[in-house]
Amino acid sequence: MPMPTIIPVASGKGGVGKSFLAANIAIALSEAGHRVVAVDLDLGAPNLHTFLGIRNRHAGIGDFLKARSAELTDLIVPTGIEGLGFISGDAKTPFMADITYQQKRRLISRLNHLPADYLVLDLSTGTAFHTLDFFRLSPFGLLVTAPDDPSIMNLINFLKLVLVRSVEKAFSGRPAIRKLLANEYIRPHHQQCSTISDLKTKISSLDPAAGEKTATLLAQIRPRVVFNRCRTPEEFTFSQKLDDTIAEKLSIAVDYFGFVFEDPNVNRSINARQAFLSAAQKSEAAESVRRIARRIEASWEIPVPDSAQQIRQDLAENSATGR
Ligand SMILES: Nc1ncnc2c1ncn2[C@@H]1O[C@H](COP(=O)(O)OP(=O)(O)O)[C@@H](O)[C@H]1O
Ligand SMILES: [Mg+2]
């Protein structure tokens, strides 16, 4: 059986809409005919079920981690939406936000064998190691941000730690390199953050071959950014700022997969225990979510060099059709 395509959904800041997007992208992919499982990996504050319009009465990841004999496949519950299953983060097992290395390894290996075309992973806010590692399950993970400076700066910090973690894992048997990287996790916020290019230079000066390996590794990482909770089309100018900062500090490229407006129907549908995509099918935000799903189907594993231009085109089409 082929392994599922994994779509981790992360952000730097909380409240930007990870859970909203994870749920609704999962629904859009299942509506397009795929077998999808939405997994709540926000172990500290699981709430993905509310965005799917279902109650959380089910055993979930917490039970799987506690019971060595439990199988992840058995935890998939139906959502009432054809083709879409759900794995709960677990309301019954508090304090599961801290998981051990072995627990994480076991969970990751089972995720890779779930019977699905797509796995959509809703992650916690923050830069805990397990969040970074869940995001690293795909080199193309989705990064959600609101169009404002704090969300963007937190996104840059999150992405930087993802890159540092990726390099650290590639050199697990090299104490000198690991020591260099370990400093990055504990750097105080007020200190000027070193750039990924500085780190590459430092690694190269320790060992030129390791420097090359680092460059190859980082070149493969290409996250996909979604702007959410937007109020005006002009807010897409934040993409330029993001591109410039990422190029300067992180030396990688990102693609843009979506631009979703703030829509009062999102919270209305939650209060009515309905999934947004089913409750507000014709809204502009729902159409934007479906566009993200179509981009995932068409180009999840390939770079999209003109992605910003495509979003501008979407926005121009919306205003032409009076949406
Ligand atoms: N596009 C949107 N329009 C309106 N409200 C939204 C939108 N996206 C998210 N929200 C609301 O914002 C809040 C935070 O969203 P959530 O998905 O829980 O964020 P996160 O998972 O990143 O912390 C929720 O109340 C959610 O319903
Ligand atoms: Mg959330």
Per the document, the length of the chain is 323
> Would you place residue 191 in the very low, low, confident or very high pLDDT band (cuts 50, 70, 90)?
low
Rounded Cα distance between 99 and 112, Å, is 18
| CB-based contact 189:45 (threshold 8 Å) | no
Which ligand ends up closest to the CA of 41? 2
- % of the chain at pLDDT higher than 90: 83
| Structure confidence by residue, pLDDT tens digits, 17-29 | 999 999 999 999 9
Instruction: Please state the rounded mean pLDDT for residues 116-144.
Output: 96
Q: Does residue 162 carry a pLDDT above 60?
A: yes
Q: Does residue 322 carry a pLDDT above 70?
A: no
pTM recorded for the entire structure: 0.96
Q: Does residue 193 carry a pLDDT above 90?
A: no
pLDDT of res. 125: 95
Q: Does residue 210 carry a pLDDT above 80?
A: yes
* Single-letter amino acid, residue 4: P
Question: Which residues, listed in sequence order, are joined to residue 86 by a DSSP beta bridge?
Answer: 38, 77
pLDDT of res. 319: 79
Domains of the chain by range and CATH? 5-320 (3.40.50.300)
- Average pLDDT value over all residues in the chain: 93
Q: How many angstroms separate the alpha carbon of residue 93 from the centre of ligand 1?
A: 24
Closest ligand 1 atom to Cα of 230: 1
Closest ligand 1 atom to Cα of 260: 1
Q: Does residue 312 carry a pLDDT above 60?
A: yes
Q: DSSP labels for 170-238?
A: HTTT-HHHHHHHHHHHH--TTSPPPPHHHHHHHHHHH-HHHHHHHHHHHHT---EEEEEEE-SGGGGGH
Q: DSSP labels for 157-169?
A: HHHHHHHHHHHHH
Q: Which two tokens stand for residue 320?
A: 């032409």
Greater model confidence, 228 or 91: 228
Q: How many angstroms separate the alpha carbon of residue 181 from the centre of ligand 1?
A: 33
Rounded Cα distance between 124 and 15, Å, is 11
